[in-house]
Amino acid sequence: MAEQAPGGFDVNQPNVARMYDYYLGGKNHFPADRAAAERVIELSQGHVREAVRENRAFLGRAVRFLARERGIRAFLDLGAGLPTQGNVHEIALDVSPDVRVTYVDNDPVVAAHARALLEGDLRVRFAQADLRRPEEVVAAAEANGFALDRPVALLLLSCLHFVRDEEDPEGLIAAYRELLPSGSHVVISHVSADPLPDAMAAMSGVYSKANAPFEARPATQIARFFDGFDLVEPGVVELNRWRPEPDALPLSGPVLPVLGGVARRP
């Protein structure tokens, strides 16, 4: 019989949110998560940890850009994962106190942590929903006070590579685009399969035993996720090349190829 944690989830199956927490140096993980994460670290020659740090840094720059330069005051973070340092609400509220953030995830582990952390702050909410069902996500967010009567930011950071091709990720984003007000923005980051196809295939094998599959995709397919949006310069690029801070240090070595971009809904 599978060992169950108090929240009712199987601690013997690797969980992608807890694996990500392990990559970031967090503490919310179990032996099965650590073992799977260590195998991915080995297959990536250690570069996965720098890649997830770059992803968090890209998130921070994108949120600050949208809050400061585009006047966005409502952020919808899909596949949010476990709370960590540099969360969306912390970054955005540092720009403006009237920001509203709703985190969305269907993982019960994430839900338990997020609700405990966010309780009491009416500017920050959590909605448990599956990002693969756009209308349900929007309904759950609106039920938690998220308003779509003005431009918003839709954040899809390192989550679409857990959506299988047969689930039509491009169609999924198109569905969200139709639900967003004009002037809204989308932020996407995604692992690219182009430079390291063999390593990516091996990592996919590790994730096949976790609670969600993993599919790295070619850069051309990642670029198509932005169809119907107007890309913000510099377009879809490696994360460290998206509007880097003036004092940004160069990368210490190669990292996993993760591409990202920000775009506006006309």
How much is the average pLDDT of 198-217?
92
Could you report how far apart the first and last alpha carbons of the chain are, in Å? 52
Neighbouring C-beta atoms of residue 159, cutoff 10 Å: 22
Domain hosting residue 228, numbered range: 50-198+214-264
Q: Is residue 236 part of a domain?
A: yes
Q: Considering the domain boundaries, does residue 128 fall inside one?
A: yes
pLDDT band of residue 115 (cuts 50, 70, 90) is confident
- Looking at residue 2, its pLDDT comes to 37
Model confidence band, residue 3 (pLDDT cutoffs 50, 70, 90): very low
pTM exceeding 0.75: yes
The arithmetic mean of pLDDT across residues 21-41, rounded, is 94
pLDDT higher than 70, residue 6: no
Amino acid at 51: A
Residue 144: pLDDT over 90: no
Any domain includes 38? no
**Tens of pLDDT along 238-254?**
999 999 988 776 655 55
Packing angle, helices 88-95 and 47-69, rounded to 10? 30
What is d(CA 259, CA 241) in angstroms, rounded to the nearest whole number? 9
pLDDT at residue 22 greater than cutoff 60? yes
Residue type, 228: G
* DSSP H or E run through 43: helix 31-43
Please count the helices (runs of H) and the strands (runs of E) in the chain: 9, 8
Q: Is residue 141 part of a domain?
A: yes
72: pLDDT strictly greater than 80:
yes
Judge whether 24 lies within some domain.
no
Q: Is residue 31 part of a domain?
A: no
Q: Is 80 exceeded by the pLDDT of residue 255?
A: no
CATH of the domain at 163: 3.40.50.150
Which pair of tokens denotes residue 191? Answer: 């692992």
Residue 147: inside a domain: yes
Domain count, the chain: 1
In a domain, 191, yes or no: yes
